[in-house]
A and B are shown apart, each in its own frame.
Chain A
């Protein structure tokens, strides 16, 4: 805040009646140019994924559209793969797969982490807390790929076994963070007041305390989203991930044969699209974290 106009803007904002972590966060986020650009790129990907989902484009991802390994042309923007399928369509279609996995895992994992973390934090020191902490330690100690494989076996080829394995392992970080925050929050006066008014304990936890950790949950959800789509690529490559449909991981798995023969279109299109989404989401997540961190907001 150097110029007079910015100072005035900031003062005008601090006079506003509804000043909260969120309005301050939004104000900070709008000034973060990198964060805004990253958000725009994420929105672009969202649009592409929605278009695939609604059937506007990339409907021919499984068709044999041309010859083997056609170069880039107006008919096939990224060329064709080893059996003549259009790489552009496949790469675009995989955006939807990534969002599907990322969103499902991020939402469920943060919800689970929020709920269990809040319960553990509120009853910290009790047997319930010990039990949840033990569960976190146990799930943290099983090598991730083994865990995915084990769940895939147990569910006997269920297409969602990868999602379930990720949710079961990725909630832990959110859970630990929320637990720590709730331990701080439950000592605050409004919680005492709620107790004194006779508000039931679970209402206090979920109506009064948990909403105050939502900035942590939001940031954690974006981090989980990135972790999920990155894991999907590796799991699909190893044959433990996506079974039906198409994903960037499967494209890279396909391409590992082609690459040694000197044909890079498949590998490059999947890698570049994946990199763009992960990079944009990482930068967006960083900007969100900076904007919502109460320590920097109050400056």
Chain B
């Protein structure tokens, strides 16, 4: 019951965020955005045809009414249909989100798990050569642009100049073997890019924790190092780790990895969003922005509940 009322209150405080995000993007993309009338009317339109299209797009109504229409779309979860293909947004999302998840999830999980492990290793050997090696590599990894990593891996693994092991681009999930062959290069690129940042972040969190008094006391009592790191330190690091992982989820799921998907031609939500940006397909963009904001609010709530779960001292007030 406490949890339920807390959730309701938390969701209520999320409303201003959703309103802000949708209002800003509505103003930028739709209200001040490009006029789509003449892309939709035929050649040599009469004034009636122009008026009809403008009415259909809602251009004849005041801004407040049009924004209210957008909010209604969000509440009813009915975002209309794509401007360019006419396909309903809900079916586009149902088709593309699973693909994006399949593309992004292996890289996301591996990037964070390896990041925590390397962070632990660096913190354990703090100041010694393994720490310097790991942090040096992280600094190098952070300095290579995502784009260069993608193209580099493509040259090395999928082109005739390199090993030529995987398809250059494209997507298929018909069989597990095909899925693996298409997902490997994007995953490697994602992990490579995320690893530098993740390792640095997790190392600093873990090092901070090793300087605590209770850790020193445990060490003085002769608790073995492995047990010390896994049971005492890692457990206390869970809050920043959870925060970092949870807050990147909405961007992974909804915007997908726009760059990865458009580069490799993977038909996920990121590719759809990119195409919508290029063609100015506003219904899709409106849906993507609104869903990202809603997911962020939900993720915030979930994160707070998880804090309670890992640290009973946290109270839900």
- Asked if B278 is at the interface of the complex by the 8 Å CB criterion, the answer is yes
Q: Given A275-B144, A278-B145, A279-B139, is A143 in contact with B292 using a C-beta cutoff of 8 Å?
A: yes
Least distance between A122 CB and chain B CB atoms (Å): 22
- Asked if B20 is at the interface of the complex by the 8 Å CB criterion, the answer is yes
Cβ 8 A contact of B28, one of A151, A274, A282: A151
Least distance between A271 CB and chain B CB atoms (Å): 5
Q: How far is the CA of A149 from the CA of B278 in the complex (A)?
A: 8
Cβ 8 A contact of B151, one of A142, A143, A267, A283: A267
Q: How far is the CA of A143 from the CA of B33 in the complex (A)?
A: 17
- Asked if A200 is at the interface of the complex by the 8 Å CB criterion, the answer is no
Q: Given A145-B277, A262-B161, is A249 in contact with B147 using a C-beta cutoff of 8 Å?
A: yes
Q: Which residues of B contact A115 (CB under 8 A)?
A: none
For chain B, the count of residues having a C-beta within 8 Å of the partner chain is 45
- Asked if B21 is at the interface of the complex by the 8 Å CB criterion, the answer is yes
Cβ 8 A contact of B20, one of A135, A147, A271, A282: A135
CB contacts under 8 Å to A, within B35-56, are none
Cβ 8 A contact of A233, one of B28, B145, B152: B145
Stretch at the interface among A10-18, A67-75, A183-191, A235-243: A235-243
Of chain A, the residue at the smallest CB distance from B135 is: A286
Q: Which residues of A contact B143 (CB under 8 A)?
A: 275, 278-279, 282
- Asked if B296 is at the interface of the complex by the 8 Å CB criterion, the answer is yes
Q: Given A135-B20, A146-B288, is A260 in contact with B146 using a C-beta cutoff of 8 Å?
A: no
- Asked if B188 is at the interface of the complex by the 8 Å CB criterion, the answer is no
Least distance between B298 CB and chain A CB atoms (Å): 12
Q: Which residues of B contact A260 (CB under 8 A)?
A: 159, 168
CB contacts under 8 Å to A, within B272-299, are 273-274, 277-278, 280, 285, 288-289, 292-293, 296
Contact B17 A238 (CB under 8 A): no
Q: How far is the CA of A138 from the CA of B140 in the complex (A)?
A: 32
- Asked if A252 is at the interface of the complex by the 8 Å CB criterion, the answer is yes
Contact B280 A153 (CB under 8 A): yes
Q: A134-161, CB under 8 A of B: which get 1 and which 0?
A: 1101110111011101110110100000
Q: Given A234-B145, A249-B147, is A143 in contact with B289 using a C-beta cutoff of 8 Å?
A: yes
Q: How far is the CA of A252 from the CA of B274 in the complex (A)?
A: 19
- Asked if B251 is at the interface of the complex by the 8 Å CB criterion, the answer is yes
- Asked if B155 is at the interface of the complex by the 8 Å CB criterion, the answer is yes
Q: A276-299, CB under 8 A of B: which get 1 and which 0?
A: 001100110010000000000000
Contact B140 A279 (CB under 8 A): yes
Least distance between A66 CB and chain B CB atoms (Å): 23
Least distance between B169 CB and chain A CB atoms (Å): 10
- Asked if A259 is at the interface of the complex by the 8 Å CB criterion, the answer is yes
- Asked if A208 is at the interface of the complex by the 8 Å CB criterion, the answer is no
Contact A143 B168 (CB under 8 A): no
- Asked if B259 is at the interface of the complex by the 8 Å CB criterion, the answer is yes
Q: Which residues of A contact B152 (CB under 8 A)?
A: 271
Q: How far is the CA of A271 from the CA of B33 in the complex (A)?
A: 34
Contact B34 A146 (CB under 8 A): no
- Asked if B16 is at the interface of the complex by the 8 Å CB criterion, the answer is yes
Q: How far is the CA of A153 from the CA of B36 in the complex (A)?
A: 12
Report whether over half of chain B's contact residues are helix, strand or loop; otherwise say mixed: helix
Q: How far is the CA of A101 from the CA of B63 in the complex (A)?
A: 34
Q: Which residues of B contact A153 (CB under 8 A)?
A: 28-29, 32-34, 280
- Asked if A215 is at the interface of the complex by the 8 Å CB criterion, the answer is no
Chain A contact-residue range equals 35 or more
Cβ 8 A contact of A138, one of B24, B33, B144, B254: B24
From A138, A139, A286, residue with most partner B Cβ within 10 Å? A138
Q: Which residues of B contact A252 (CB under 8 A)?
A: 147-148, 151
Least distance between A10 CB and chain B CB atoms (Å): 21
Q: How far is the CA of A256 from the CA of B150 in the complex (A)?
A: 11
Of chain B, the residue at the smallest CB distance from A249 is: B147
Least distance between A155 CB and chain B CB atoms (Å): 9
Q: Which residues of A contact B277 (CB under 8 A)?
A: 145-146, 149, 240
- Asked if B142 is at the interface of the complex by the 8 Å CB criterion, the answer is yes
Q: How far is the CA of A130 from the CA of B29 in the complex (A)?
A: 26
- Asked if A76 is at the interface of the complex by the 8 Å CB criterion, the answer is no
Q: Which residues of B contact A135 (CB under 8 A)?
A: 20
- Asked if B190 is at the interface of the complex by the 8 Å CB criterion, the answer is no
Q: Which residues of B contact A259 (CB under 8 A)?
A: 151, 154-155, 159
Least distance between B69 CB and chain A CB atoms (Å): 18
Q: Which residues of A contact B161 (CB under 8 A)?
A: 262, 264
Q: Which 9 A-B pairs have the closest CB atoms?
A: A138-B20, A279-B143, A150-B28, A143-B255, A149-B277, A278-B143, A154-B32, A271-B148, A150-B29
In the complex, besides A142-B25, A154-B33, A282-B139, 20 extra interface pairs with C-beta distance below 8 angstroms are A135-B20, A138-B24, A141-B292, A142-B289, A143-B255, A145-B274, A151-B28, A153-B29, A153-B32, A153-B34, A154-B28, A238-B274, A240-B277, A259-B151, A271-B148, A271-B152, A274-B145, A274-B148, A279-B140, A282-B142
Q: Would you list 9 pairs from A and B whose C-beta atoms are within 8 A, ordered by A residue?
A: A141-B292, A141-B296, A143-B254, A153-B28, A259-B154, A262-B159, A271-B145, A274-B148, A275-B145
**Residues of B near any A CB (own CB < 8 A):** 16-17, 20-21, 24-25, 28-29, 32-34, 139-140, 142-148, 151-152, 154-155, 159-161, 168, 251, 254-255, 258-259, 262, 273-274, 277-278, 280, 285, 288-289, 292-293, 296
